[in-house]
């Protein structure tokens, strides 16, 4: 079923997918068990002439235990899922690394404005340049992005990185990722932002690290 996910190209993609798998196996077990018991009951306890139903009320502990104990086990497994999830969440969303490359992204109806730091590798200087809906990053480096929105809510979604973050006008929100290999993928908007929401697509290009500087220089405004 792994092939149902988009190809994973980030350092934390496998972690996020891992949470899916953890939950899948745990709930899958309970689903099969519960459905099995249900189907068994539906077949086994069909009305038979002369066989009355059993008058079980489920009020005594001996009977209630059959549902309370499984529920308690569900609770423990739930907490385990949360513990695993918390680690991944913190890694992606709370503990942001300082970042080797800084970009600024602004969502607006209906495009992504992506600002690059230019050859001096610093955002906010004269050699910055902005591209429309084209996200370029180097492979193997921590990319830190400051996300903004100009008008309405948008959501920055890189499916192959397993990253999503809503962009809010009036706020700046930082996020990060590290793409593991070069190639071309896509950027999508994942928050309804108007009639052009479906057109807010960006190309997402991961460059080989040695080509990155060259690409930056080729796009920077001439000095």
The residue among 88 and 216 lying less far from other proteins, judged by its C-beta, is 88
Stretch (H or E) spanning 18: helix 13-44
Min separation Cβ 204 and other proteins, Å? 10
Using CB under 8 A as the binding rule, the residues of this chain from 5 to 24 that contact other proteins are: 5-6, 15-16, 19-20, 23-24
Q: Tokens at residue 139, please?
A: 């492979």
**C-alpha to C-alpha distances, 205 to 124, 134, 158, 182, 188, nearest whole angstrom:** 23, 8, 11, 7, 13
Using CB under 8 A as the binding rule, the residues of this chain from 41 to 100 that contact other proteins are: 41-42, 45-48, 51-59, 63-64, 66-68, 70-71, 74-75, 78-79, 81-82, 84-90, 92-94
Phi, psi (deg, nearest 5) at residue 219: -100, -15
Using CB under 8 A as the binding rule, the residues of this chain from 167 to 186 that contact other proteins are: 168-171, 173, 185-186
Rounded Cα–Cα distance for residues 3 and 15 (Å)? 16
**197, 208, 215, 219: which one contacts other proteins (CB under 8 A)?**
197
Number of neighbours of residue 114 by Cβ within 10 angstroms: 21
Residue whose tokens read 């071309």: 184
Stretch that binds other proteins, among 98-106, 117-125, 138-146, 188-196 (CB under 8 A): 188-196
HSE-CB for 211 with a 13 A CA cutoff = 11
111 binds other proteins (CB under 8 A): no
Min separation Cβ 210 and other proteins, Å? 26
The residue among 40 and 129 lying less far from other proteins, judged by its C-beta, is 40
Pairing state between β 129-132 and 183-189: unpaired
The residue among 56 and 126 lying less far from other proteins, judged by its C-beta, is 56
**100, 127, 128, 166: which one contacts other proteins (CB under 8 A)?**
166
HSE-CB for 150 with a 13 A CA cutoff = 11
Min separation Cβ 190 and other proteins, Å? 4
**113, 114, 128, 159: which one contacts other proteins (CB under 8 A)?**
159
131 within 8 A of 138, measured Cβ to Cβ: no
Pairing state between β 101-108 and 142-149: parallel
Rounded Cα–Cα distance for residues 39 and 180 (Å)? 46
**102, 136, 144, 160: which one contacts other proteins (CB under 8 A)?**
160
Min separation Cβ 169 and other proteins, Å? 5
């Amino acid at each position: 079923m792994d092939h149902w996910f988009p190809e994973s190209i980030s350092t934390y993609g496998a972690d996020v997918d891992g949470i899916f798998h953890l939950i899948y196996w745990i709930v899958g077990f309970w689903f099969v068990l519960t459905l099995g018991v249900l189907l068994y009951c539906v077949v086994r306890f069909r009305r038979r002439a002369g066989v009355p139903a059993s008058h079980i009320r489920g009020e005594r502990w001996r009977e209630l235990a059959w549902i309370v104990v499984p529920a308690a086990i569900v609770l423990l497994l739930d907490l385990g899922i949360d513990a695993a999830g918390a680690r991944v969440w913190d890694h992606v969303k709370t503990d942001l690394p300082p970042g080797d490359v800084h970009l600024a992204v602004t969502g607006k109806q209906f495009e992504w404005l992506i600002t690059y730091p230019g050859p001096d590798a610093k955002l906010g200087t004269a050699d910055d340049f902005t591209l429309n809906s084209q996200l370029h990053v180097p492979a193997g480096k921590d990319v830190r992005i400051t996300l903004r929105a100009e008008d309405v809510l948008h959501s920055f979604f890189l499916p192959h990185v397993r990253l999503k973050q809503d962009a809010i006008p009036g706020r700046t929100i930082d996020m990060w990722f590290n793409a593991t290999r070069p190639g071309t993928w896509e950027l999508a908007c994942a928050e309804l932002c108007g009639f052009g929401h479906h057109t807010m697509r960006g190309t997402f290009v991961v460059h080989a690290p040695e080509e990155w500087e060259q690409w930056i220089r080729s796009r920077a405004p001439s000095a």
